[in-house]
Amino acid sequence: MIISCIGHAEFLLELDNGMRIVTDPYDASCGYPILPMKADGVLVSHGHHDHNAVENVQGASRIIDTAGRHTLAPGVEVTAVPCFHDEAQGSKRGNNLMFLLEAEGLRVAHLGDLGHLPTPEQAAALAPVDVLMLPVGGFYTIDAETARETAQLLQAQVILPMHYRSAANADWPISPVEDFVQLYGGAERLNLLRVCKGDMDCQPAVAVLEPQSLK
118-137 residue pLDDT tens:
999 999 999 999 999 999 99
Backbone angles phi, psi at 131, to 5 degrees: -130, 130
The overall pTM is greater than 0.75: yes
82-97 residue pLDDT tens:
999 989 888 888 899 9
How many structural domains compose the chain?
Answer: 1
When pLDDT is cut at 50, 70 and 90, the band that residue 22 belongs to is: very high
User: Averaged over 87-111, what is the pLDDT?
Assistant: 95
Listed in sequence order, the residues at least 6 apart from 89 whose beta carbon sits closer than 8 Å to its beta carbon are: none
Percent of the chain whose pLDDT exceeds 70: 100
Range of the domain at 130: 2-214
136-152 residue pLDDT tens:
999 999 999 999 999 99
Distance CA 134, CA 163 (A): 8
CATH (domain of 64): 3.60.15.10
Is 17 a residue whose pLDDT tops 90?
A: yes
